[in-house]
Structure formats: structure tokens, C-alpha cells
Amino acid sequence: MLTQDDFALMNVLASWQSQSQTWRASAGIRNLTDEVYKTDAQEFSSVGNIQTAYYGDPRTWQLTLGYSF
């Protein structure tokens, strides 16, 4: 199946920086609801009617820490 219903992606990012601006941190989640969605789809009707779909990334986490000196 090459089509899909409408979908929404939700990302969250939180950042913090110390008052002296020496330390900083951020944490985030992409695709918070772990939505399964297609980014591309192709049909090769000339080669046996093969259908191929490519899916987006699942839920991913990130954490960043930084120090300025």
C-alpha cells in the first residue's frame, strides 16, 4: 500500500543555561508518539508491479551537555 492517512509528528526540546552562561544542557525527543509514517513510496509497474515504501525514523532521544571556558 503506497498511500497513508494523515498524520502528525510531535517533537519536544527543553534547554537550560546556567546564570554564568558556563554550563548548558538540552534534552529532546523526536517523534514523541512513535508514529509510523512513510517518507516516500514507489511503484515499479514495469518490473512485476513491485511496491516499495520508505518509513520515517521512530521515536529518538537526544541529550546535549556543554561547558564554555
Task: With cut-offs at 50, 70 and 90, classify the pLDDT of residue 17.
Answer: very high
Domain that holds residue 22: 12-67
Number of domains in the chain: 1
More confident residue, 59 or 44: 59
**Residue 49 placed within a domain:** yes
Q: Is the pLDDT of residue 5 over 90?
A: no
Q: Is the pLDDT of residue 47 over 80?
A: no
More confident residue, 28 or 52: 28
Return d(Cα 22, Cα 69) in angstroms, integer: 7
DSSP classification of residue 49: S
**Residue 32 placed within a domain:** yes
**Residue 2 placed within a domain:** no
Return d(Cα 21, Cα 15) in angstroms, integer: 12
